Amino acid sequence: MLGKRGAGDDGQQAKKKRRLAGPVEPLNALVHLNKLRPGAQFKLVSQVGPVHSPLFVMEVEVNQQLFQGSGNSKKLAKLRAAELALKSFLQFPDASEAHQLLGRGFLPATADFTSDADVSSSGACRSLFSDFSGGGGTGAGDLNNAGGGDALQQRILSSKPGDKNPVMVLNEIHRGVKYDLLGEVGEKHFKLFNMKVTVGSREFTGSGRSKKVAKYNAALTALKVLHGISQFRSRVNEEKALGGQEPQVVADHMAQLVLTKFGELTNNLSSPHARRKVLAGIVMTTGHEGDSGQVICLATGTKCINGEYLSASGQAVNDCHAEVLCRRLLVKFLYQQLKMFLPNLSPVVSILEPQPDGRGFRLKDGVKFHLYISTSPCGDCRIFSPHDAKTDEGRTPNQISDKHPNRRARGLLRTKIESGEGTIPVRVEGTIQTWDGVLQGERLLTMSCSDKLTRWNVLGLQGALLHQYLPPVYLSSIVVGSWYHSEHMMRGVYGRVAPSLDARLGQSGQSEFRLNRPFLSGVSSPEGRQAGKTPNFSVNWCVGYEGLEVINPTTGKTEKELPSQLTKQAMFRDFLSLYGKIPALDASQGVLDAPK
């Protein structure tokens, strides 16, 4: 017996030893209400719904007011009713949360958190808000001048910046911020949530693959706009900002515009044609006050035409990669704008204007085009590992430089593979690709998207035919939704040709072409990797279209086996509709007589 009793005692001691003392858990709203208003009675108002999923409504009377809460259980309904009751006479329904926001840790069980003297005499409270203008508090409406200096940012983030996220910091600076879910788009397995945070009289939005990420991005936007706190920036190439705004805010906004428009065109992503691997879109800004940008075109796709379906008359689309289709859609849009200047047409507001010398046209001042791609373009921009080892500072691959810039794989021209995905380097000594060779079975090679972006940054987006009427049109920014690496992206779209082209274009002096260096950026909430089979269709849309046009990438034609609106033949038809009817840039460079 003694032996057993001793063994039992040892077991109890071991049990006690395994208990670790931890912080006191914060009390919920129901407990706080019972402490502040002892005897508050809850009563069941109603119970609706099936047996397996009931909905209870509980009611409590506090200060001669009735508060109701609902939930899937009586306990949850009582808790929500208590929260509403507390909000009616307390600023913080959760007292422990209030003390944490004031930097005082959890509320002791014996503390009187309703005492005015306790809060007003708090040194943490005074130190937190002493940076606001004049030492006296600011109203919720005057937020632009509140804590704009570096002192506030340093005070909040200096101790342990890695332990605080934007939501925590925003709550420390502004009490009573409110988060609301604006909506969610997408299918069950691929949803995008939009959250709004209200700070005083101003509202800021954020999006993400979960509500938590969307809330994080909304708070991040608010901090950057109101206080210039950029402690959390991670995927921005800070070469230059757009329009004086915070670069990351602008990049996230461009991405959000394209994603929202795609959701509208696909019936909240419920359409069968909403399936995609890559989404790209072009946003146009005019520089006018209040202009937040307009999506003028978007497309999806990752495949190229099969060699046996090549068309000698230009009735098939050879490359159905999303960013390539977007460039063709932009050309289509520019043709639409030029047709507004045809004779006998009533004047319409256009983004173009005649050149001062009367020859050709040009973009109006302030008009810019911004390209969004949901993932880095294939080719040289994408040849890296997204999970390379991080540096000692904990920076991600998006922030670190290329450790092996002189590798042979860097800066190479690459081609897409027929009937497959990915790219391979161009063989300098390789044989020339011929039409009959492709028809006989030789694999068709198509220029990679990285190489095409480099070409567009030199020659412009408009193409040879449209150049008869417009000077080169360049992108102002490129925003990448995932797999963004600033060093590889910069090299892939213009850096690899900069040394030679800068010298050549500088020597000519008279050339209207230049090496364009667009603003490059990732997004705050990158898309996740979408494993699965690539859709066997590609969709595109442009301003003026009634709906989405669906193309079969294998044949280069629509689902009804008709030529697309983006074929070479269709583009040439648009050119002929203008030729000889509106002034060209230089008649000596084009055809003098209109075709009969």
- Residue 92's pLDDT is what? 46
- Residue 95's pLDDT is what? 43
Residue 164 domain flag: no
**DSSP 8-state secondary structure symbol assigned to residue 446:** E
Burial of 112 (0-12, 13-18, 19+ CB in 10 A): exposed
Boundary residue ending a domain (63, 89, 108): 108
Question: 342 and 581 in contact (C-beta within 8 Å)?
Answer: yes
Alpha carbon distance 61, 66 (integer Å):
5
Residue 221 domain flag: no
Alpha carbon distance 586, 468 (integer Å):
7
Question: 353 and 582 in contact (C-beta within 8 Å)?
Answer: no
Structural tokens at position 200: 């005083």
Structural tokens at position 419: 């009937």
Boundary residue ending a domain (85, 108, 131): 108
Residue 135 domain flag: no
**DSSP 8-state secondary structure symbol assigned to residue 529:** P
Closest by CA to 571, choosing from 343, 304, 313, is: 313
Per-residue pLDDT of the chain (596 residues; tens, 9 = 90+): 445 555 445 555 545 555 544 444 456 788 888 877 888 889 999 998 888 888 999 999 887 788 899 988 998 899 889 888 887 766 544 444 444 433 333 344 344 434 444 433 334 333 333 333 333 333 333 444 344 445 555 555 554 444 577 888 888 888 778 898 887 765 555 567 788 899 888 888 877 777 888 888 888 888 877 877 755 544 333 334 444 456 777 888 898 899 889 988 988 778 888 888 899 999 999 887 767 789 999 999 999 998 888 998 999 999 999 999 999 999 999 999 999 988 877 767 889 999 988 889 999 999 999 999 999 999 888 877 665 544 434 454 445 555 555 566 676 888 888 766 778 788 766 668 888 888 877 888 889 999 999 999 999 999 999 999 999 999 999 999 888 888 888 988 998 888 888 777 765 556 788 899 999 998 877 776 666 678 889 999 999 888 899 999 999 999 888 999 999 999 999 999 999 888 888 755 444 344 43
Residue 275 domain flag: yes
- List the 423-425 sheet strands across, edge first: 423-425, 414-417, 445-447
3-state secondary structure of 300: strand
Boundary residue ending a domain (89, 108, 127): 108
Residue 313 domain flag: yes
Closest by CA to 372, choosing from 287, 285, 431, 495, is: 285
What CATH number should be reported for the domain holding residue 33?
A: 3.30.160.20
- Residue 129's pLDDT is what? 35
Residue 195 domain flag: no
Residue 190 domain flag: no
Q: CA 118 → CA 32, 88, 92, 125, distances in Å?
A: 17, 21, 15, 10
Query: How many domains is the chain partitioned into structurally?
Result: 2
Closest by CA to 522, choosing from 217, 293, 248, 191, is: 248
Q: CA 378 → CA 317, 323, 374, distances in Å?
A: 18, 10, 12
Q: Considering the candidates 83, 172, 323, 527, report the single residue annotated as catalytic.
A: 323
- Residue 149's pLDDT is what? 45
- Residue 166's pLDDT is what? 83
Residue 4 domain flag: no
Query: Residue type for 3, please?
Result: G
H or E element in which residue 34 lies: helix 29-36
Q: Which domain holds residue 31?
A: 27-108
Would you call 323 a catalytic residue per the annotation? Answer: yes
Question: 40 and 33 in contact (C-beta within 8 Å)?
Answer: yes
Closest by CA to 278, choosing from 323, 244, 311, 338, is: 323
- Residue 188's pLDDT is what? 57
